[in-house]
């Protein structure tokens, strides 16, 4: 197991009528730093990043609804609920203070959208590999709606694992850069042990449901253009996300594969892009010290 340098406090709070689990690190009197995790992840995933922070922050990392220790939703999950949840969490943990927002993947997209409508409250945004999802055509609408209806009739499931150790094995298979100690730490937060010693993921499998709506870039850009705070996009050099974004086949992108990311970032006022070498999509696991240094340097200046 990795040596945890900074202890966390666990909170269960009501957020818009649903129980949410929130981890915090540091002194509540320190500047608040909000950390939003990615899809099928949990707030504890930021432990290695928090350990690497040099300054005194009040780091706040919720489990988004339906993930980790936060309540599952019988009515399903909608992206805009995460934005409303974030505002309620800020009211609970940051009150009237200016906030700095950091999000990974799904969490990055949430903080970008919130900053586009909560501009006066946000002092700086860092999005780790959260650059939106592939654009879709209105012509995709009938197919997407039909797929969603089919999934409602036969919802996705998460198969159990033989043990928490097997969950750690899967995490290392997904990310070969992940040391065994970190994988075991994460597995304890990703899964719960059942009475028969099997392990089940603590995230609602209905997060795997297809979206019934198309992803409209004109609407996304309209929100992003309304962001007043400085924005830092952080890309991992070995990530497949930029290529997936534009669905480009091999060989049709620029030398660093980030042309599509740059085109999107051009719609963000006061935005800049940096890359982290020797890291994949889970860059805050692969290079926590480098990512922490980028975050602190940027947000302190902001």
- Give CB contacts under 8 A, 24+ apart, made by 296-301: 296/53, 296/54, 296/55, 298/124, 298/126, 298/230, 298/232, 299/33, 299/100, 299/123, 299/124, 299/126, 300/55, 301/230
Q: What are phi and psi of 14, to 5 degrees?
A: -80, 125
Supply the pLDDT for residue 255: 62
Q: How far is 118 from 56, CA to CA, in rounded Å?
A: 25
Supply the pLDDT for residue 287: 98
111-143: pLDDT as tens digits? 999 999 977 889 999 999 999 999 999 999 999
Torsion, Cα 271 272 276 281, to 10 degrees, reads 30
> pLDDT of the chain along its 302 residues, tens only?
556 679 999 999 999 999 999 999 999 999 999 999 999 999 999 999 999 999 999 999 999 999 999 999 988 899 999 999 999 999 999 988 899 999 999 999 999 999 999 778 899 999 999 999 999 999 999 999 999 999 999 999 999 999 999 999 999 999 999 999 999 999 999 999 999 999 999 999 999 999 999 999 999 999 999 999 999 999 999 999 988 887 655 445 556 789 999 999 999 999 999 999 999 999 999 999 999 999 999 999 88
Q: What are phi and psi of 104, to 5 degrees?
A: -110, 130
Supply the pLDDT for residue 95: 87
Supply the pLDDT for residue 256: 74
Supply the pLDDT for residue 251: 47
Q: How far is 37 from 45, CA to CA, in rounded Å?
A: 7
pTM: 0.95
Supply the pLDDT for residue 244: 86
Q: Is the dihedral of CA 166, 171, 176, 179 positive or negative?
A: negative
235-263: pLDDT as tens digits? 999 999 988 887 655 445 556 789 999 99
Torsion, Cα 281 286 288 294, to 10 degrees, reads -50
124 within 8 A of 302, measured Cβ to Cβ: yes
Of the candidates 273, 223, 232, the residue with the CA atom closest to the CA atom of residue 83: 223
167 within 8 A of 127, measured Cβ to Cβ: no
């Amino acid at each position: 197991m990795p040596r945890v340098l900074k202890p966390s406090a666990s909170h269960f709070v009501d957020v818009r009528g649903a129980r949410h689990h929130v981890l915090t690190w540091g002194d509540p009197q320190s500047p608040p730093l909000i950390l939003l995790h990615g899809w099928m992840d949990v707030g504890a995933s930021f432990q290695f990043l928090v350990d690497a922070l040099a300054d005194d922050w009040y780091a706040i990392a919720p489990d988004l609804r339906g993930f980790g220790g936060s309540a599952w939703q019988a009515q399903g999950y909608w992206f805009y609920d995460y934005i409303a949840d974030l505002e309620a969490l800020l009211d609970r943990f940051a009150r009237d203070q200016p906030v700095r927002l950091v999000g990974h993947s799904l969490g990055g997209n949430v903080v970008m959208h919130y900053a586009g409508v909560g501009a006066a409250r946000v002092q700086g945004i860092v999005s780790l590999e959260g650059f939106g999802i592939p654009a879709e055509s209105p012509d995709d609408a009938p197919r997407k709606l039909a797929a969603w209806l089919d999934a409602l009739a036969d919802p996705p499931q998460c198969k159990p694992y033989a043990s928490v150790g097997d969950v750690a094995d899967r995490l290392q298979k997904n990310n070969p850069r992940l040391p065994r100690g970190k994988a075991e730490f994460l597995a304890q937060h990703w899964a719960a042990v059942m009475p028969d010693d099997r392990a089940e993921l603590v995230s609602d499998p209905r997060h795997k449901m297809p979206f019934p709506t198309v992803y409209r870039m004109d609407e996304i850009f309209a929100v992003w253009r309304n962001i007043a705070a400085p924005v830092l996009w952080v890309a991992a050099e070995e990530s497949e996300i930029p290529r997936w974004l534009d669905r480009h086949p091999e060989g049709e992108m620029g030398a660093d594969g980030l042309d599509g990311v740059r085109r999107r970032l051009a719609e963000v006022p006061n935005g800049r892009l940096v890359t982290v070498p020797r890291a994949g999509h889970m860059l805050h696991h692969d290079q926590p010290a480098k990512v922490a240094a980028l975050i602190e340097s940027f947000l302190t200046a902001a």
